[in-house]
Amino acid sequence: MDNANIKNRLTKDRIVLYAVSLFAGLMAVPLLAILGEVLLRGYEQLSWSFFTEPTPTAYRAMKAIKAGEPIPGGIANGIVGTMLMLAMAALFAVPIGILCGVFLAENPKNRFSQFVSFLTDLLQGTPSVIIGIVVYIWVVVPMKGYSAIAGSVALSIMMLPLIIRSTEETLRILPASLKEAGLALGGNRARVMLRVQLPAAFGGIFTGVLLAVSRVIGETAPLMFTALGCSFIRFAVDKPISAVPLLIWEFFNDPNLQELIWGASLFLLLFVLTLNLTAKYLAKKWNQ
């Protein structure tokens, strides 16, 4: 009876294992399909000029298509805009996010920190389009125009909850002995945080920042209300600016430019993938 029982349980175990593996495999299908689709359609467009030249006009594109040539130009205006806005967004979001994370990790139980914690969750769940419209009212209207600044404010708001949480969680899992050792030497809390805890948490926080960047890099909706777009390469922070996801949307809306969607998508996808893998690698390295 015992033997049969064990056999029975082993069979059940195996069935569960197969089922789980099957679903895991199924999960991978759409992911691989997307990657494959983008890769197959996009790789042809990837050339040096695709990364160094701005978007072509519809007219130039149409002429090229008629002549059977590849579409000229590229997405350099979008890449520059995306990088500029990401850098500025990180500039806003990293210090504020780290400060909030430190506050939450150090004061887990008071009323105000619970409120901040709740707000962080709320922010994380806020649809990006709403953030876009709010930033439109807060920044675009007073500045009387769309701008890279407005776009980066929207992106930084989206990055905040991720940075706050990764800072808080990394600080929480540091051994208490680290903080105690610092305080036992007579340090005040601020110095111990700055010299001991934050350096020890650097890996986790940096990983969190990378993930936050990869999270917002593909955001389109909030940029439509804030950055608007621009057909040439521009470094001004107070003027409308382009971004790669905005370009994808523009390409989709212009029959002459549709071919460019895939190159731009491939760029975004590879960028996000690289960021994620880097984050994973760093997290692993720092955890050793």
* Polymer length of the chain: 288
CA 266 to chain centre: 16
CB 225 within 8 A of CB 133: yes
Q: Which of 27, 58, 122, 184 binds other proteins (CB under 8 A)?
A: 184
Q: Which of 71, 149, 164, 196 binds other proteins (CB under 8 A)?
A: 196
Select the span of 10-18, 117-125, 183-191, 223-231 touching other proteins (CB under 8 A).
183-191
Select the span of 21-29, 49-57, 123-131, 180-188 touching other proteins (CB under 8 A).
180-188
Amino acid, single-letter form, for residue 69: E
E strand or H helix at 25, and its extent? helix 2-42
How many Å apart are CA 176 and CA 183, to the nearest integer?
11
The DSSP 8-state label assigned to residue 228 in this structure reads B
Establish if 284 lies at the interface with other proteins (CB under 8 A). no
Nearer to other proteins, 24 or 176 (CB): 176
Number of residues engaging other proteins in binding (CB under 8 A): 19
The DSSP bridge partners found for residue 228 are: 241
Q: Which of 195, 280, 284, 285 binds other proteins (CB under 8 A)?
A: 195
E strand or H helix at 113, and its extent? helix 111-125
Establish if 288 lies at the interface with other proteins (CB under 8 A). no
The DSSP bridge partners found for residue 241 are: 228
How many Å apart are CA 162 and CA 78, to the nearest integer?
24
Q: Which of 200, 221, 233, 269 binds other proteins (CB under 8 A)?
A: 200
Establish if 181 lies at the interface with other proteins (CB under 8 A). yes
Least distance between other proteins and beta carbon 287 (Å): 12
Sorted by sequence, the CB contacts under 8 Å of residue 156 that are 6+ apart come out as 88, 89, 90, 91, 92, 93, 96
Establish if 72 lies at the interface with other proteins (CB under 8 A). no
Q: Is 166 strand, coil or helix?
A: helix
Least distance between other proteins and beta carbon 115 (Å): 19
Establish if 177 lies at the interface with other proteins (CB under 8 A). yes
Select the span of 44-52, 120-128, 148-156, 181-189 touching other proteins (CB under 8 A).
181-189
Establish if 188 lies at the interface with other proteins (CB under 8 A). yes
**Structure tokens that stand for 95 in this block:** 């210090």
Chain residues in the site for other proteins (CB under 8 A): 175, 177-178, 180-188, 191-192, 195-196, 199-200, 202
